[in-house]
Chains A and B, each alone.
Chain A
């Protein structure tokens, strides 16, 4: 149980285009989903927290107009990187927390974004 999927697993896009990444909890309902970014040789940095049916909460320094997050259902959250630039190239990982659970988060396999 507690499986989280992400799609796509990797994507290459041109500078200036937008990319949407999906995060799904496959066998549980996720009231809260988290989006992280990880640059090479660095740890995961939390970008934003999204709760189903409400606006996402962004961490300091993360542009909410550039990284659009939608959590439309209890099993799906999407992250759209708008007007992508090469510096947005990174490993984007989502995680989900089940309703009523403790602090444990279940991670998706990540999406590797390369902006050329």
Chain B
């Protein structure tokens, strides 16, 4: 079983749509969770951290369910510029600050 699993997509949605991505992780001891965005042939960029209470940043909302080891990202009012691959990222349990990346979910927003 992969340490971090995501649906690869692609999710093809019209502008203005709401889209949700899910992610599951295998290590119950993980403590830090993130969503990164990666554009084609570029480095990943931090989109947002994910907190236990859930958090929102503009059109983006992240949720964490520790009991189910499940993380979600909701994007409202999709823009063309949201087209990218979204990576679910979880830290390993040890103290080395290593991050484990999911394989990513590709989003295509069409006009």
Contacts and interface: CB of A to CB of B under 8 A. Distances in A.
B39 to A, nearest CB: 11
Interface string B77-106: 000000000010001000011111111100
Interface string A1-40: 0000000000000000000000000000000101000000
Contacts of A107: 43-45
A34 B98 CA distance: 8
A79 interface: no
A49 B46 contact: no
A103 B97 contact: yes
For chain B, give the interface size range.
Answer: 20 to 34
Contacts of A109: 42-43
A104 B34 CA distance: 9
A34 B102 CA distance: 17
B49 A44 contact: no
A109 B44 CA distance: 8
Contacts of B91: 103
B32 to A, nearest CB: 4
Interface string B13-56: 00000000000000000011010000001111110010000000
A50 B96 CA distance: 10
A43 B102 contact: yes
A69 interface: no
Contact of B49 (A46, A93, A104): A104
Contacts of A103: 31-32, 34, 91, 97, 99
B104 A43 contact: yes
Interface of A: 32, 34, 42-46, 49, 57, 91, 93, 97, 102-105, 107-110, 112
9 contacts: A43-B87, A43-B101, A43-B104, A44-B87, A49-B98, A93-B44, A103-B31, A104-B46, A105-B97
